[in-house]
Structure 1
Amino acid sequence: MSKKLIKSGIIVSAMTLISRVLGLVRDVVIANVMGAGFMADVFLFANKIPNFLRRLFAEGAFAQAFVPVLSEYHTKDESVNEHQLAETRRLIAQVSGTLGVIVTLVTLFGMIASPVFVMLFGFGWFVDWLNDGSAAQKFDLAANLLKITFPYLWFISFAALSGAVLNTLGRFAVAAFTPVLLNIAIILMAIYGADFTQSPAHALAWGVFLGGLVQFIFQLPFLYRAGVLVKPTWAWHSKGVTKVRKLIVPALFGVSVTQINLLLDTLIASFLVTGSISWLYYADRLLEFPLGLFGIGIATVVLPSLSKLHAKQSLHEFSATLDWGIRVISLFGWPALAGLMVLAQPIIMVLFMRGEFSEQDVLQVSFALFAYLSGLLSFMFIKVLAPGFYARQDTKTPVKIGIKAMVANMAFNLMLAPFLGYVGLALATTLSATLNAFLLYRALKADEVFQLSTATKIFIAKLVLSAAVMALVVYLTSPVFSDWLAMGFFKQIQQLVLCITLGCISYFLMIFVLGIRMKDFKVEKAENIPEISS
């Protein structure tokens, strides 16, 4: 089990690494073309709405509800005839047909009612427009761009459905690679599309549209080869769809709390100084690099594994798999936190400070990034702990916890934003994520499903100490901010590579000295795992 998990985790993380690197290239291009001005704010707003809904209809809540049910059907099929997959194919046809109708209606409504979405989530622009017309350009451009980006929701919903099917069949690489195509489409449109569209923002919006289309088409041959490319069928009342339906309703909140919080941030940021949405976006993108590479990568592998273990009623290995997930993301999460904290400004400078992106933007983005980074491990733990509920087809507990975290985020926003501005919004998101992670763990422990072992607690303590030593080494190696500014671009890269290299060497040397070895990443067999006590 552990070898298979590690191999799958490496494959997903490798594909995700390619996607994240291209994602950074995409953000570099966007920063160069539009900086952090009003046009950047508007495009990022128009991109955020369909991406939020993607979390509901695609890889977020839908996947958390669909994968456990699909794993259950697939496990039954394997026990009867592993080559026919009759029940699995029927479930895929019914779910894809039902989802297709719903997503089509939502997409059409979103395109028609785009001004309403701008009014709701960019309310500050709407108020300014009503008062003196100063934000009319922002409001109109946002409504126009939403009509272009909203169809992305339709394409990505089916791409995510295809990815969930392939992941359940143990074919993780395809779905992990697919986001690369979106980044390529946006990059190409940013560079070459402005000459054929009204503005750089319109070019990027069409890049989102084309990226969704290409992701959808790309996975179809792989579904065909796996024998699960089926004709969609409307089946609202079928047994499988009903089961998914009941699981997805509460999961809409439970798995999308972070996205809802980010939308609330966007709403409040529309009242703040121009650039706030962009500064939060660039900070969030840098946070998403380690989060996507390690947190989401491991969670992608963990959910199907947990679902199969639950179907087989293997509680001990279920707990051990969660423990394995916590160890792996901790191994990479703590040094990512330490390194980004110390090197935040140089990294932002090297990646974004050119074209329309100024030195002042570097500082503003770094302040938001510091706030987000303080919750990096919380965001990662949520990605591993939440599947512990969804794999058992328990979506009610995470939704209750998610609502509490969302309410807490609103309170934190109102308390912090008046004093800290956009940095207060980032800090509020971090605090609510930490509360979310704590409540998820406490609920798993209360259900006697999972509890951190003493060995894992000691393991994490060693990692924290190693990351602290790494942070000190990087801090002593890194020049002051003014010296970074004085360097040429290639000198900055050279110095940054040196700091990161010395940091990595010091971190892995420390964990070796403290006794951490490969055997610490094995999933223990059932007979080696003690009973969980509350």
Structure 2
Amino acid sequence: MSLVKKFMTVGGATLGSRIFGFARETLMAAALGTGPVADVFYAAFRFPNLFRRLFAEGAFNAAFVPLFAKEIEANGIDGAKRFSEEVFGVLFSVLLILTIGMQLSMPLLVQWIIAPGFANDPEKFDLTVRLAIVMCPYLMCMSLTAMLSGMLNSLHHFFAAAIAPVFLNILMIGALGWALWTGADPAATAWALSWSVLGAGLLQMAVVYIGVRNAGIRIGFKRPRFTPNVKRLLVLAVPAAITGGITQINQLIGQAIASTKEGAISALQYADRIYQLPLGVVGVAVAVVLLPELARALKGGHMKEAGNLQNRSIEFVLFLTLPAAAAIWVLSDEIIRVLYERGAFSEQNTAVVASILAIYGIGLPGFVLIKALQPGYYAREDTKTPMRFTMVSVALNTGLAITLFPIFEESGIAMAEAAAGWTNTILLFSVLLWRGHLIFEWSLVTRTLRLMIASAIMAGLLVYLSDRWADWLSPSSPLFEQLLALGGLIAIAMPVYFGIAFLIGGADWRLVLRSLKRRKKTADEAVVSPAEQDQQ
């Protein structure tokens, strides 16, 4: 299977999850708007969701996958099973203690980390604490799910791990549907959502566990022991967890600062949901697939192929994110108005959230490139260098957020996150290039410039069309007509961008597919896992 097809497998499953996520956020906007209960729920959900993003979207895999792959090559499936059981025993025990400890200390966590601005409002503070306690075990479920997903990805079973997150959105949509159907008050809606999050964590873990069993590995619980392999995993995992969660760490900082203004947290969340679509579909897919591929090539001594994989992944990311960033920038008002402006979500809310989304659009290529560049370090078992860059990024984000929030309010938080993301990207790229782990190609530079030209032409067309179709996109128009107009803009923009990109040489799918194709007789097939050999 080609690398592009693997990207599409993971990206397609992630796309399904993100579409359900849009439906969830649309119902959330209708039910809660940007009111105080929306702020409370998103603040309480941010902490367990932070761990979902930290672990489920690559950070744990960054440490686990290379070691798991090495174990398969050295000792086969039996050795990989023993290693997995060692890790599972330690991880389960540590997470259980951590979860209980966090639940007991939740008032302090809310006061000092999650939402310091709620401390002056006893009602909001108390509800945030109670909702966070209910959702806290979700982080344990997701951390174990991440380990099982890493096993599946290493065995080239990508779909089950990629589709599992859809169950979170399905259960939350069910809770919101119940609340809107019964006319539940905001507090009751928040409680229903919290219990749906916990149920989703258990369901996701069950899905990937069944996937691992179907892949031929049955994990049993063993008494936790810190074996040499487990110790090595922990040495790699701690900095990887910090690094992999850079976006979430920055958002947590932004949330803490934004909690001083009512409605700011939920406004940032609604904008975050939009740009998470391309970030998840492209960035997560690239990160999940590229890491085991790079690790496999490097362990087989195929340095040239590793460099080619890295460059083609960067090209793939830019090919898809540059037009997405341009579209988000020029259509931010239309996107937010059509998706959210109804019920408790007002025209004023649209203006605020749209301004945040436009800024996130600028940062989008940087956020996604981080996902494509970090595997270049992780595959070489270097998790400390990206962690150092993360620290620089967090420091920059914190300083800018504190400085800009009093001036630009919520938009200042988004500016800080975008600047921090691009800074991290530049550092990751520069050091990979300096170390010789990234092959400099003028063709990649010229293609990037051509893709920017194609994106700019597409953006100009969208500005013209959105102005001509303003009446159809207006809130006074029927929802179906609004959705049809927005869909029409996207349907026209995509072929225009792709056509121009191919015409001026910004992309050549034949070259990309040919360079990424992995056939049985290529050199890296010499180091495939027994599981993959069985599949072939």
TM-score range relative to shorter protein:
over 0.9
Question: Is the 8 Å Cα contact of residues 473 and 502 (structure 1) preserved in structure 2?
Answer: no
Query: Structure 1 residues 75 and 4 mapped into 2: Cα distance closer, same or farther (>3 Å)?
Result: farther
1-structure distance, mates of 2:285, 2:420: 22
Query: Structure 1 residues 480 and 47 mapped into 2: Cα distance closer, same or farther (>3 Å)?
Result: farther
Query: Structure 1 residues 59 and 338 mapped into 2: Cα distance closer, same or farther (>3 Å)?
Result: closer
Query: Structure 1 residues 455 and 88 mapped into 2: Cα distance closer, same or farther (>3 Å)?
Result: same
Q: What letter corresponds to residue 225 of structure 1 in structure 2?
A: N
Q: What letter corresponds to residue 158 of structure 2 in structure 1?
A: F
SS in 2 for 1:170: coil
Other-structure match for 2:371: 383
Other-structure match for 1:460: 448
The counterpart of 1:202, out of the listed 191, 194, 209, is 191
Q: In the TM superposition, what is the alpha-carbon distance from 1:213 to its structure 2 partner? A: 1.0
Other-structure match for 2:134: 148
Q: In the TM superposition, what is the alpha-carbon distance from 1:125 to its structure 2 partner? A: 3.0
Give matches, 1:90-489, under 5 Å: 90-127=82-119, 129=120, 135-192=121-178, 199-272=188-261, 274-479=262-467, 483=471, 484-485=473-474, 486-489=476-479
2-structure distance, mates of 1:310, 1:353: 50
Question: Is the 8 Å Cα contact of residues 317 and 523 (structure 1) preserved in structure 2?
Answer: no
Q: In the TM superposition, what is the alpha-carbon distance from 1:502 to its structure 2 partner? A: 1.4
Q: In the TM superposition, what is the alpha-carbon distance from 1:261 to its structure 2 partner? A: 0.8
2-structure distance, mates of 1:171, 1:453: 32
Other-structure match for 1:510: 500
Deviations 1:325-374 (A, max 9, x none): 11111111011111111211111111111111111111110011111111
2-structure distance, mates of 1:294, 1:397: 24
Q: In the TM superposition, what is the alpha-carbon distance from 1:220 to its structure 2 partner? A: 2.2
Other-structure match for 2:35: 37
Percent of paired sites with the same residue: 32
- The count of corresponding residues between Structure 1 and Structure 2 is 513
Query: Structure 1 residues 59 and 380 mapped into 2: Cα distance closer, same or farther (>3 Å)?
Result: closer
1-structure distance, mates of 2:64, 2:333: 41
Question: Is 2:515 the counterpart of 1:523?
Answer: yes
Q: In the TM superposition, what is the alpha-carbon distance from 1:123 to its structure 2 partner? A: 4.7
Deviations 1:41-94 (A, max 9, x none): 00001110111133445544322111111111122245xxxxxx1110011101
Q: What letter corresponds to residue 436 of structure 1 in structure 2?
A: N
Which deviates more from structure 2 when the two are superposed, residues 222-231 or residues 177-186? 222-231
Other-structure match for 2:531: none
**In angstroms, what is the RMSD of aligned CA positions?**
2.0
SS in 2 for 1:393: coil
2-structure distance, mates of 1:201, 1:292: 25
Q: In the TM superposition, what is the alpha-carbon distance from 1:262 to its structure 2 partner? A: 0.6
2-structure distance, mates of 1:181, 1:524: 32
Q: What letter corresponds to residue 37 of structure 2 in structure 1?
A: M
Q: In the TM superposition, what is the alpha-carbon distance from 1:495 to its structure 2 partner? A: 1.4
TM-score between the two structures when normalised by the length of structure 2: 0.92
Deviations 1:260-282 (A, max 9, x none): 1111001100112x110011001
Deviations 1:433-459 (A, max 9, x none): 100000001111121110341111111
Question: Is the 8 Å Cα contact of residues 58 and 158 (structure 1) preserved in structure 2?
Answer: no
The runs of 5 or more residues in structure 2 that have no matched partner are 524-536
SS in 2 for 1:259: helix
Deviations 1:421-443 (A, max 9, x none): 11101100000110000000111
Question: Is the 8 Å Cα contact of residues 16 and 177 (structure 1) preserved in structure 2?
Answer: yes
Other-structure match for 2:81: 89
Q: In the TM superposition, what is the alpha-carbon distance from 1:290 to its structure 2 partner? A: 0.6
Question: Is the 8 Å Cα contact of residues 330 and 358 (structure 2) preserved in structure 1?
Answer: no
Question: Is 2:64 the counterpart of 1:76?
Answer: no
The runs of 5 or more residues in structure 1 that have no matched partner are 79-84, 130-134, 529-534
Query: Structure 1 residues 21 and 126 mapped into 2: Cα distance closer, same or farther (>3 Å)?
Result: closer
TM-score between the two structures when normalised by the length of structure 1: 0.92
Give matches, 1:62-73, under 5 Å: 62-73=60-71
